Amino acid sequence: MDVDEAFRVVGEFGPFQKRAVFVLSLTQVYMACQSMLMVLVGFTPQYRVEQQEAVPSDQLALSPRVVFAEDVDSIVTEWLLVRQQAYKVGLAGSLFFAGLLVGNVVFGPLSDRIGRRPVYLTGLFFEVLFGYMTAFAPSYEVFALSRLLVGLMNGGIGLVCFVLVQEYVGRSYWAMTGTLTSMCFAVGIALFGALGYLVQPWRSLATTANSSGVLFFLLSVTLPESPRWLYCRGEAERAEEVLRRMALGNGNGKAGSSLKLHRIVVANAATSNSPTRKGAGLTQLVVHPILRRRTMVLMYVWYACSLVYYGLTLGAGDSTGSRYVNVAMYGLVELPAYPLCIYFINKHWAGRRKSMSSFLCLAGSACLCTMFIPNSTAVTSLALLGKLLVSAAFNIAYVYTAELYPTAIRNAGLGLCSMACRVGGILAPFVPSMRALHSSMPFTVFCLGGLSAGCLGLLLPETLNSPAPETLEELGSPAHSRMLESKPLLYDGENRKFAHK
């Protein structure tokens, strides 16, 4: 039997898998706290600069003294990151997202080569270690370096964690477990807001938020290697051992004892993973006319989604009202987005393209409306609405992008889109600071990003109920192009073929 058949025997989502998915989902809560840390520890209270009184006559210039309006303990008040030094707050946040970009690029291929479990555990261990480096940083320079290293580990284990959640369960549960990790990340943002209210000194907050990673690491040590990865590597015996362990955990010990996976040959693995093949895949994204157009549009859509999503989230601490409540609300408001997008993308009158573009345009419109409403409560409400809408668009973009690329080149396409996404994340921390130019500038940037990406998204073809292309030849065939340009297809079970509705 193959792996999918084996999962049906041992249980696709039994007690063993539920415990494993629960542990990995808890890790998303920890990762969310690390992602949101700068929102609270980098808070800048109102301040004024005063000149000190009499100083020795031989001193050439008077030393300025910064007086803060609030008794707040943050990196801004400790290292006086104001005026000409204010850019360092956004820089530390951008370094974190730069680390995410590099982590995605490095950890993905590494986990394909040496395994999901060792890469995940190693990355989580070092993220906790660098997290403590953040909490006890003696200077801004060490703090900024630690944020880069934490981001590197966070981006890497985030990718591997998502893959493990999928590969521990049967295929029929992939959509559910994938959505669950995103929901737990949103819950983590909300919990971080509550934690920030209870633990306000920034070093204590960083230490407390990071200490949860120690618990999650200890729980993760018991997780097995991915049986799907072992099977694809030709290690059928080890895959059988993991599946038997799952069977015992699911109460199917007798069924697990009869497991026998087919032997597979991986002689071509080195060739398929070679730099030449990977380079050829990336080249096709530029050379192939259909792929080039799709990739350019999708990269901008992912960039805009990330810019608006993280820009609104990281700006929560600067919004009117309690910054702790704002952070919590910006996390909780995401939760309704996931059932919303699942509902719309499966309706023939909406589909993937229209749903994603509509959510992006509505998110941009919500940000636009904030510029014409003087009421601060209404502005915050519209910003929260924008966060909900862009969260839905972001979730759809993951599903839609995978369907637009042929199987032969899907990983390369997703990789480029993910890189564009991280560029948006790198720029996002600087957008809230644009309030210094004009109070409406951040929302203007988010408005333009959402509206432009929504309009560009309409240039893409619909994929709802359409069979995904497997090869580049299928993608370029006139029949496949006409199929995507026309109405959605429905599967005719009697005649065993797709037909237009």
DSSP string, 89-153: HHHHHHHHHHHHHHHHHHHHHHHHHH-HHHHHHHHHHHHHHHHHHHHT-SSHHHHHHHHHHHHHH
- Both tokens of 423, joined, read 């560029």
The per-residue pLDDT for 208 is 95
Is the residue at 52 inside a domain? Answer: no
Q: Confidence class of residue 471 from pLDDT cuts 50, 70 and 90?
A: low
Give Cα 52 to chain centroid, integer Å.
47
The per-residue pLDDT for 347 is 85
The per-residue pLDDT for 218 is 94
- Residue ending a domain, choose from 247, 270, 293: 270
Task: List the single range of 157-171, 336-350, 407-421 with lowest mean pLDDT.
Answer: 407-421
- Residue ending a domain, choose from 270, 300, 330: 270
- Both tokens of 80, joined, read 């006086």
CA-CA distance, 27 to 375, in Å (whole number)?
Answer: 38
Is the residue at 53 inside a domain? Answer: no
pLDDT for 141 beyond 90? yes
Give Cα 427 to chain centroid, integer Å.
15
The per-residue pLDDT for 268 is 40
φ/ψ of residue 49, rounded to 5:
-110, 125
The per-residue pLDDT for 151 is 93
pLDDT for 126 beyond 90? yes
> Using N-to-C axis directions, what is the helix angle for 275-287 and 289-314, rounded to 10°?
90
Other CB atoms within 10 A of residue 273 CB: 12
Task: List the single range of 135-139, 190-194, 354-358, 486-490 with lowest mean pLDDT.
Answer: 486-490
Whether residue 169 sits in one domain with residue 35? yes
Is the residue at 147 inside a domain? Answer: yes
Tell me the residue type at 426. Answer: I
- Both tokens of 379, joined, read 């502005």
Q: Give the number of C-alpha atoms closer than 13 A to the C-alpha of residue 77, restricted to the C-beta side.
A: 19
The per-residue pLDDT for 267 is 38
CA-CA distance, 118 to 128, in Å (whole number)?
Answer: 16
Residue for token pair 């580049």: 472
Whether residue 180 sits in one domain with residue 312? no
The per-residue pLDDT for 428 is 86
CA-CA distance, 392 to 345, in Å (whole number)?
Answer: 10
Q: Specify whether the CB–CB gap between 333 and 492 falls below 8 A.
A: no
The per-residue pLDDT for 317 is 58
Q: Specify whether the CB–CB gap between 39 and 316 falls below 8 A.
A: yes
The per-residue pLDDT for 158 is 81
Q: Confidence class of residue 312 from pLDDT cuts 50, 70 and 90?
A: confident
The per-residue pLDDT for 129 is 96
Domain that holds residue 187: 1-47+64-270
Q: What angle do CA 421, 29, 107 make, to 5 degrees?
A: 50
- Residue ending a domain, choose from 270, 297, 329: 270
Whether residue 125 sits in one domain with residue 265? yes
pLDDT for 375 beyond 80? no
The per-residue pLDDT for 448 is 94
Is the residue at 56 inside a domain? Answer: no
Helix ranges (DSSP H) in 335-468:
337-345, 351-369, 376-404, 410-427, 441-457
pLDDT for 162 beyond 50? yes
Most confident of 82-86, 300-304, 464-468: 300-304
Most confident of 159-168, 287-296, 300-309: 300-309
Q: Which of 64, 88, 56 is nearest to 74 (CA)?
A: 88
Task: List the single range of 37-51, 180-194, 446-460 with lowest mean pLDDT.
Answer: 37-51
The per-residue pLDDT for 254 is 66
Residue for token pair 């490095």: 106
Q: Specify whether the CB–CB gap between 443 and 315 falls below 8 A.
A: no
Whether residue 293 sits in one domain with residue 261? no
- Both tokens of 468, joined, read 């995904």
Cα–Cα distances (Å) from 394 to 331, 338, 346, 484, in that order, read 15, 10, 16, 22
What's the average model confidence in pLDDT over 296-309?
94
Whether residue 388 sits in one domain with residue 342? yes
- Both tokens of 431, joined, read 């957008």
- For residue range 423-470, list pLDDT tens digits in order: 898 888 788 778 778 878 889 999 999 999 999 999 999 888 776 565
Instruction: Tell me the CATH number at 173.
Output: 1.20.1250.20
Q: Who's near 51: CB < 8 A, 6+ residues apart?
A: 62, 63, 64, 65
Q: Specify whether the CB–CB gap between 256 and 247 falls below 8 A.
A: yes
Q: Which of 265, 269, 266, 247 is nearest to 256 (CA)?
A: 247
Whether residue 249 sits in one domain with residue 301? no
Task: List the single range of 390-394, 424-428, 469-473 with lowest mean pLDDT.
Answer: 469-473
Is the residue at 57 inside a domain? Answer: no
Whether residue 226 sits in one domain with residue 177? yes
Whether residue 290 sits in one domain with residue 407? yes
- Percentage of the chain with pLDDT > 90? 31
Q: What is the mean pLDDT of the chain?
A: 81
The per-residue pLDDT for 277 is 44
Whether residue 220 sits in one domain with residue 287? no
The per-residue pLDDT for 372 is 83
CA-CA distance, 479 to 253, in Å (whole number)?
Answer: 49
Is the residue at 240 inside a domain? Answer: yes
The per-residue pLDDT for 370 is 84
Whether residue 38 sits in one domain with residue 187? yes
Number of domains in the chain: 2
Is the residue at 58 inside a domain? Answer: no
pLDDT for 490 beyond 50? no
Whether residue 305 sits in one domain with residue 221? no
The per-residue pLDDT for 210 is 94
Is the residue at 55 inside a domain? Answer: no
Q: Confidence class of residue 473 from pLDDT cuts 50, 70 and 90?
A: low
pLDDT for 60 beyond 50? no
Q: Which of 228, 467, 416, 422 is nearest to 306 (CA)?
A: 422
Most confident of 134-148, 180-194, 380-394, 459-473: 134-148
